[in-house]
Structure 1
Amino acid sequence: MTADEANTFLSAAFVGTGRRSEVTLMEEGRAVMRLVADATHLRPGGYISGPTQMSLVDSAAYMAVMTYTGHEPMTVTSNLSINFLRPCIGDVVVADARVMKIGQALAVMDVDVRIEGADKPASHAVVTYALPRKPDGRAA
């Protein structure tokens, strides 16, 4: 799945959700997403909100899994753990997700969130996705 195909999938799957993040990179085991923040994503002081960062983390992890599974909409989040490391202040936030392990039933991703151009991440997450089973009981 390419970045363009991923963006087309997201647009069709999440109709009417307003301004969306975009997939900028899809390569085996890795996906990068970018969000241009607006007032709906901010906390007082111009901080990118925690829920905004978590949503971006989850979306980037989802896309990273799809670099292995292809278009598989029933892949679902089973765990997301995030650590907020430093203030996330800026106009554009980026999530870089990498698959650490993919098995028959679960995939585990490591995700860094940072303001575009920043050296250090603002948050770090580990995300686990449950992979759907095929009719014969094997993972998709």
Structure 2
Amino acid sequence: MRRSATTINGVPLSYSWADGSSGIEIFPGGGDAGGHTDSEYTYLASITGRAGYAFDRTLLYAKGGIGFTRLEITDFDNPAVFNARGSKTLTGWTIGGGVEHALNDKWSVKGEYQFYRFSGDVAVNDPALFRTYEGDFDVHAVNIGLNYKF
């Protein structure tokens, strides 16, 4: 049996281990002082809708909606002298797709890819105003899940 399906997902909230580090090319005072910036997304959340096409017990779907995150940025001097840190909750958009397969009437498994785009600025101002990072902050997430239907 072939049929299309549309659902509205709840608010999945995930703790995130997404982090990164990048060098600072031009540091205050001029030149490359070997400084770097560490960034961490402490959580990801989204409110999404999905639409798809079902083949027997398998659903292929696309999804999109609103995304939320908490981004923390920390600046360091050469090599690891703390300068300042800041964090901000950002709202953006998300889009993705996946596949879900029903194992029986109660259990299903799924795998999906989700792209998040957050735009804004994060001031690195603790203990004192140091700099502000502006622009787009992107996250690529791969999720796997086991679902139980009550």
With normalisation by structure 2, the TM-score equals 0.31
Q: Which structure has more helix as a fraction of its residues?
A: 1
Identify the structure with bigger relative contact order (alpha carbons < 8 Å, sequence gap 6+).
1
Say which one has the larger Rg: 2
